[in-house]
Amino acid sequence: MMLVGINPTVFKGKVNGFLGRNVITNYFDTKYEKKALISYIIVPFQNHQNDNVHQNFWQAREMARIVSNKGYDVDIIPYYDPYVHLKKKYDLVIAQFPKDVDCFSNNIKENAIKIAYLTTSSPEFNNAAELSRIDQMEKRRGVRLEPLRQIPELTDDFYSYDAFFVMGNETTLSTYKGINKNCFLIKNHTNAIDCSIDVNKKKSNNFMFIGSVGQVHKGLDILLEIFSEEGFPCNLYVLGAYKNEREFYEFYDIELNYTKNIFSEGFVDISSSKFKELSEKCSYMIMPSCSEGMAGSVLDAMAGGVIPIVSKNCGYDEEDGAVILDNCDAETIRSFIISYSKKPLDWIIEKCQKEVEIARVKYSREQYTKSLEEAFDFLKL
């Protein structure tokens, strides 16, 4: 049946919301007096897929577990669904990028604790940075691709939240203007903790790129243009979901599929023998992203014994083992690639071994849990 004048997608969303779909109620089947709502991702709670798809699969469940242990019945809803219908009043709300009018706005108790969970740079910074990259590519290549990582702008209600959990470092935090109370840096973690590699197989001129969504945002376009230069002396192994971005993939078809020193690997499970093989041959992971929180692919590379060369907006510092690009101009990136490809193998092996240790000790699942629990304890949940 066609309903004239009604958007079918909106109608379906409202029906699902009214029926209580997309609401996971009392996930741990507890009977506490206090109620908590997590507005984040729900797929990890619906089925336990391979956590190696993304760090946030395990993190979402771990956050819920910690909240439950603090004495709350825990409900979960998808942060992107405006039609969710809720029937409870909540004592605690944890929301990714909260808006002025959320589906839960009328379900928050007057004295509830509200926490904003922020996994990337601020929308203002992120959106401008991505659009700038889109503009730059259009000027270089004459084609304009659609931005894929735009985030809704922050609204007034955001600043009324009681605490802000920011996944990233001080650079990430600095992109949020106007929040100066109860800001906590949350550590990302790596899933590749069992990747035992032979560092003696490494080649100093082998680089890898790992990226999820938004290849121009993450700088893959710049890398493909550099590595495809005639006679360029280094190799690039490209890992990620770039094949899903049809326009990008077709535009860079020659670079990705017909350039002898660029290897199009596609999505590679970090627990696979293929990832181990690539980690053993590559000395560096390079990611000149324009905006991140704390890029998980960097940690997966480090845990695999690969040295990260990244932009400052990837969420890491030099003490984290990262090599920080001065900027993301093609000339600068090219210079870093050439310079580090000439490093002696002894230096590379020692550095790679340190990367593994840093990832496993500083960015384990236990460290994510610790940083989250410390923030909750400070707030006296």
State the amino acid at position 379 in one-letter form. L
**Which pLDDT value is given to residue 340?**
99
Domains of the chain: 8-118+161-187+365-378 (3.40.50), 199-362 (3.40.50.2000)
Q: What is the DSSP letter of 13?
A: H
- Asked whether the beta carbons of 221 and 253 are under 8 A apart, the reply is no
> What does pTM read for this prediction?
0.90
Which residue shows structure tokens 């009043």?
A: 89
Q: In a 3-state reduction of DSSP, which class is residue 111?
A: strand
Per-residue pLDDT tens over the stretch 63-76: 999 999 999 999 99
How many Cβ atoms sit within 10 Å of the Cβ of residue 140? 12
Question: Residue 52: what are its φ and ψ, rounded to 5°?
Answer: -75, -10
**Torsion angle of the four alpha carbons 62, 65, 66, 69, in this order, in degrees rounded to the nearest 10:** -160
**Which pLDDT value is given to residue 258?**
98
Per-residue pLDDT tens over the stretch 180-225: 899 999 999 987 655 577 888 999 999 999 999 999 999 999 999 9
- Cα–Cα distance measured from residue 198 to residue 196, given in angstroms and rounded to the nearest whole number: 7
- Asked whether the beta carbons of 122 and 175 are under 8 A apart, the reply is yes
Q: Flag whether pLDDT at 5 surpasses 60.
A: no
**Which pLDDT value is given to residue 335?**
99
- Asked whether the beta carbons of 27 and 69 are under 8 A apart, the reply is no
- Cα–Cα distance measured from residue 128 to residue 152, given in angstroms and rounded to the nearest whole number: 12
Higher pLDDT, 131 or 154: 131
- Cα–Cα distance measured from residue 317 to residue 358, given in angstroms and rounded to the nearest whole number: 12
Question: Residue 111: what are its φ and ψ, rounded to 5°?
Answer: -100, 20
Among residues 21, 5, 23, which one has the least CA distance to residue 13? 21
What are the residue ranges of helices labelled H in the chain? 8-18, 43-46, 55-69, 123-141, 170-174, 215-218, 220-227, 246-251, 253-257, 273-281, 296-303, 330-341, 345-362, 365-378
**Which pLDDT value is given to residue 195?**
58
Confidence bin at 53 (pLDDT 50/70/90):
low
